[in-house]
Amino acid sequence: METALAGLVGLFYAVAIYLMLSKHIIRVLLGIVIFGNAVNMTIFTAGRIVREVPPIIPAGAERIESVVANPLPQALILTAIVISFSFFAFLLVLAYRAYQELGTDDTDEMRVAEPEGESLPPLGY
Amino acid sequence: MAAPGATSIDTAAAHIAGATALADWLVIAPVALPILGGALLLMVRHRTRVHAVLAFLFLFASFLSSAFLLARVVSEGPLVMTMGRWLPPFGITFNADVLGATFATAATFVATVAAVFALRDINVTGRRYGFYSFLLLMVAGVDGAFLTGDIFNLYVWFEVFVISSFGLLVLGSERRQIDGATKYAVLNLVATTVFLITTGMLYGTFGTLNMADIARKAEGLRETGPLMTIATLYLLAFGMKAAAFPLNYWLPASYHTPRIVTSALFGGLLTKVGIYALLRTMMTLFPVEREVLSGLIGWIAVATMLLGILGALAQSDVRRIIGFVVISGIGVMLSGLALGTPLGVTGTILYAVHSILVMTALYLLAGLMHEAGGSYSLHETAGLYRSHPLLAAMALLLVLAAAGLPPLSGLWPKVMLVKASIESGAWWLASAILVSSILTVIALGRVFALSFWRMDAGETVERTDAERAISPGAGYGVLAALIVPAIAIGVYPEPFLRLAAAAAAGLADPASYLDAVFPPGGGS
């Protein structure tokens, strides 16, 4: 199970990185979404996958005797999902505003902050 | 819940008995106070008059608590507080040692000063859009990163300050800001995601996220676990956050676009969190892996400091020049990490404190020069020496400080780093530090010569009355508040050197750090 998931995670990373290498913001954003999900699956797989047995101590017992699912990765993933979701919401708005203001989603043409052909500082006076 | 009558489960082995001592709450005060303040400011969003006062009070209180925390940590050793009473490694631990407390003190001091400067830089609209809330939350994130003892929690604090910094960066919504923010946001998101990937792998390998626990278990896992991969990925993630070459292009693309006080805070605080995280992971968690990577880190350091300052030489906008000077300073700090000797790491820590103070001051200086001369461009400002002699004096001091010349704070860390490089036989590192210092003198000296000494720029700037300085006195006071500690470090370095040396010792030999989290003979 881990091996199959690891392969899937690798595929996710490949797709995400391919998309993020694009110079169009919209593809970069799609890449970021997949990247975020790839990370969540990485953590999930890294926590080892045990199905069927929930991590609950039976009544009367003091500790868990058998192998159970690890709850911590799920807590980590939940945190990461919330964070990446809020980031992505911000990025979507930012990209849309950038498209409105700059009239392009091509990063090569987004040169307002760093204009091309700026003059060198004066060499003397 | 167990049914009545059933035996209650004995959790003494995993729980802290009794309440936390009142004095120990000091550990989270530098984080809790700014969060409370930020939340409070959101509630009074429309009453912009009280924003600055409240923000100042909360920031000053968190500065005081960081300073008390530092004093206590220096005298009594690392302080630990565990959340939810779960003993480490189960609960999230806050762990203040000398390094974290020193950085937190410097960061809250700079933020307090910047909050005062923001009075003249941020208008009512900016305050209503939440400038001070963002500022406080960013400080909370930065302090949290400095004080936490849990690596996943470190990731959360990274996200806290990164998302607050997005808010600060786009405040004003000018075209250049949106352009810069797009690049900043995407690249910083990628960096923190790489951090998260690595943390996931680390959890898969170690089964724990507590940093002291990781340091303890690393020895046993070195043969079987992919520790080298994890250490390299951390170098990638934190190197990107710290703006190390070749991952630094987000910084010159964005740091000159927001309000000048925001640039000042970013230049002073954010890249230093990356350096802090690198020091913590490389020195405490993966010292053996750092040894292997030291050559790579060394060449990254050389490339960062030299290419950074060469970038500064080619710019004509003062803010962009300072952005490249910030990058060059990151290279200098990385050189100490590459060496890994006590002297080198001490130099890095002292340089980071110096950089927090001086880079913020340089940006604020640029803001005051803009108020006085009407432009950020070197083509357009001139003659400030005649009209603003006091500003010229402070500018000269800051140029000396940034270049590492006496009598200011830049001198001693550079002396230590050069000495440490020569002791380790890394002559190339020593010469790169010296060459980058000379180039810094040229880059910033040119700003001074053109903007202050030059009588006439040839091109006159149309100035409206709104741009004219409101009250130069307050701005000078703010700048002086940053320059005075820089002079203190330069003239009387002894206590600061001791502090940095103690911080470096705590990093290199984490025994006291481990003992604080896992008391010998008790706990787990």
Contact B186 A59 (CB under 8 A): no
**What angle (nearest 5°) sits at the alpha carbon of residue B410, between those of residues B325 and B113?**
75
Residues of chain A positioned with their CB less than 8 A from the CB of B247: none
Determine contact: A96 vs chain B, CB below 8 A.
Answer: no
Q: What integer pLDDT is reported at residue B15 of this predicted model?
A: 65
B272-278 mean pLDDT: 94
Window B:189-248, CB contacts with A under 8 Å: 189-190, 193, 196-197, 199-201, 203-205
Nearest to A59 among B6, B199, B200 (CB): B6
Please identify which residue in the block is written with the tokens 């990638």: B236
* Per-residue pLDDT tens over the stretch A23-50: 899 999 999 999 999 999 998 888 877 7
Give the three-class secondary structure for B19: coil
Task: Evaluate if residue A112 carries a pLDDT over 60.
Answer: yes
Determine contact: B253 vs chain A, CB below 8 A.
Answer: yes
Nearest chain B residue to A44 by CA: give it: B200
B39-59 mean pLDDT: 89
* Per-residue pLDDT tens over the stretch B446-455: 999 988 888 7
Residue B6 lies inside a defined structural domain of this protein: no
Determine contact: A90 vs chain B, CB below 8 A.
Answer: yes
Token readout for B452 is 């202050």
pTM for the model stands at: 0.92
Q: What integer pLDDT is reported at residue B467 of this predicted model?
A: 47
Task: Evaluate if residue B466 carries a pLDDT over 60.
Answer: no
Which one, of A36, A80, A44, lies nearest residue B201 by Cα?
Answer: A44
- Domain extent for B94: 24-458+471-517
Distance of CA B86 to the CA centre of its chain: 30
Q: What integer pLDDT is reported at residue B470 of this predicted model?
A: 53
Q: How far is B76 from chain A (nearest CA, A)?
A: 33
B504-509 mean pLDDT: 84
Q: How far is B160 from chain A (nearest CA, A)?
A: 9
The mean of the pLDDT values for chain B is 87
CATH class of A2-52+68-107: mainly alpha
Mutual angle of helices B98-121 and B131-147, in 10-degree steps: 170
Residues of chain A positioned with their CB less than 8 A from the CB of B375: none
Q: What integer pLDDT is reported at residue B471 of this predicted model?
A: 63
Task: Evaluate if residue B29 carries a pLDDT over 50.
Answer: yes
Nearest to A102 among B173, B175, B316 (CB): B175
Residue B1 lies inside a defined structural domain of this protein: no
Residue B169 lies inside a defined structural domain of this protein: yes
Q: What integer pLDDT is reported at residue B20 of this predicted model?
A: 64
Contact B181 A122 (CB under 8 A): no
Please identify which residue in the block is written with the tokens 């005797």: A65
Dihedrals phi, psi of B82, to nearest 5 degrees: -115, 135
Window A:24-53, CB contacts with B under 8 Å: 25, 28, 32, 35-36, 38-39, 42-43, 45-48
Contact B152 A76 (CB under 8 A): yes
Q: How far is A46 from chain B (nearest CA, A)?
A: 4
Task: Evaluate if residue B308 carries a pLDDT over 50.
Answer: yes
Window B:85-104, CB contacts with A under 8 Å: none
Nearest to B179 among A76, A98, A120 (CB): A98
User: Could you give the ipTM of this predicted complex?
Assistant: 0.92
Which one, of B183, B145, B147, B148, lies nearest residue B166 by Cα?
Answer: B183
10 Å CB burial of residue B460 (0-12, 13-18, 19+) is: exposed
Q: What integer pLDDT is reported at residue B422 of this predicted model?
A: 94
Q: How far is B315 from chain A (nearest CA, A)?
A: 6
Nearest to A47 among B183, B203, B378 (CB): B203
Nearest chain B residue to A104 by CA: give it: B179
Q: How far is B191 from chain A (nearest CA, A)?
A: 11
Nearest to B378 among A45, A98, A121 (CB): A121
Task: Evaluate if residue B509 carries a pLDDT over 90.
Answer: no
Nearest chain A residue to B453 by CA: give it: A125
Window B:293-322, CB contacts with A under 8 Å: 314-317
Least confident segment among A51-55, B302-306, B356-360, B497-501: A51-55
* Per-residue pLDDT tens over the stretch B137-177: 999 999 999 999 899 999 999 999 999 999 999 988 888 88
Q: What integer pLDDT is reported at residue B465 of this predicted model?
A: 45
Contact B379 A32 (CB under 8 A): no
B291-307 mean pLDDT: 93
Per DSSP, B466 falls in state G
Q: Name which residue leads in pLDDT, A118 or B264.
A: B264
For B120, residues 6+ apart whose C-beta sits below 8 A from its C-beta are B371, B470, B471, B474, B475
Q: What integer pLDDT is reported at residue B331 of this predicted model?
A: 94
Task: Evaluate if residue B506 carries a pLDDT over 90.
Answer: no
Dihedrals phi, psi of B80, to nearest 5 degrees: -125, 140
Contact A120 B203 (CB under 8 A): no
Please identify which residue in the block is written with the tokens 């003091």: A62
Q: What integer pLDDT is reported at residue B229 of this predicted model?
A: 92
* Per-residue pLDDT tens over the stretch B185-219: 999 999 999 999 999 999 988 888 888 888 888 88
Give the count of Cβ contacts less than 8 A between chain A and B: 123
Task: Evaluate if residue B4 carries a pLDDT over 80.
Answer: no
Q: B103-131: string of b/e by CB count within 10 Å (b at 16+)?
A: bbbbbbbbbbbbbbbbbbbbeeebbebbb
Report residue B462's pLDDT band, with 50, 70 and 90 as the boundaries. low
Determine contact: A66 vs chain B, CB below 8 A.
Answer: no
Report residue B5's pLDDT band, with 50, 70 and 90 as the boundaries. very low
* Per-residue pLDDT tens over the stretch A44-89: 888 877 766 777 777 777 777 777 777 888 888 999 999 989 999 9
Residue B465 lies inside a defined structural domain of this protein: no
Contact A107 B6 (CB under 8 A): no
Q: What integer pLDDT is reported at residue B474 of this predicted model?
A: 78
Determine contact: A101 vs chain B, CB below 8 A.
Answer: yes
Nearest chain B residue to A119 by CA: give it: B316
Residue B524 lies inside a defined structural domain of this protein: no
Q: Report helix, strand and coil shares of chain A as percent, to nearest 5.
A: 60, 0, 40
10 Å CB burial of residue A108 (0-12, 13-18, 19+) is: exposed
Q: Name which residue leads in pLDDT, A121 or B87.
A: A121
